[in-house]
Amino acid sequence: MRIFKTQVVCLLLCTFSLVTFSCDNGDSGEDVAQDLDDSPVGEFTSAQVGGVDYFASPSISDNTVWAVIIPSQSNMLFNANNGNGERIRFEIKNYQGEGVYSFGNTSNENTIRFMRNLGPSDLPNGDWICIDPQASCMVTITKDDGMEVEGTFSFEGFSIFSDTSLLVTEGKFRANIE
């Protein structure tokens, strides 16, 4: 009887270990499920930043993607953090749902930026923001159903810290509205 109990305990421990350690922990962006339009399922942000791939998804540890709409102020705030100290953020004033929103001109207060923090401080080592009224800085909201928002973006940002510009292209996003 004692041998039987030992075997049962060993079998349960082996089963628990197998189940626990064979599950994907979501630390790799390579296996994120894809929609028919080749965009990841769920919340994500992707772009080409200076010609380099940028990807953020809450399915990857230390990544965040969120959108907040503040009805009383008609503002939309969006943030994507890839967990490597790089963030894409935009704020749309007078948000009206689906449509095209421009940035970088003095007639509106919309802001879009790419921030890079590679050091120990909370201050960005690089902060490229669209401030040029001649630049083509746009966010297109293609879906806003009150629960989820998605769209595309592109912009050329300028850094006052380094006096450099940075081109962000092919931007796509999807986020739950918080």
Rounded-to-integer distance, Cα 56 and Cα 115, Å:
14
pLDDT computed for residue 19 by the predictor: 29
Contact 46, 32 (CB under 8 A): no
Percent of the chain surpassing pLDDT 90? 45
Categorise residue 162: left if φ over 0, alpha if ψ from -120 to 50, beta otherwise: alpha
**b/e for 30-51, b at 16 or more Cβ within 10 A?**
eebeeeeeeebebbbbbbebee
Span 31-41, pLDDT tens digits: 333 333 555 66
129 Cβ contact list (under 8 Å, min separation 6) = 111, 112, 113, 157, 158, 159
Residue 103, burial from CB neighbour count under 10 angstroms (0-12, 13-18, 19+): buried
Res. 76 pLDDT band, cuts 50 70 90: very high
Span 19-28, mean pLDDT? Answer: 35
- Indicate the domain borders of the chain: 35-176
Span 152-168, pLDDT tens digits: 999 999 988 788 899 99
Rounded-to-integer distance, Cα 89 and Cα 77, Å:
8
79 pLDDT exceeds 80? yes
Span 109-154, pLDDT tens digits: 889 999 988 666 555 578 899 977 677 899 999 999 999 999 999 9
Categorise residue 139: left if φ over 0, alpha if ψ from -120 to 50, beta otherwise: beta
Lowest model confidence (mean pLDDT) among 16-20, 54-58, 59-63, 127-131? 16-20
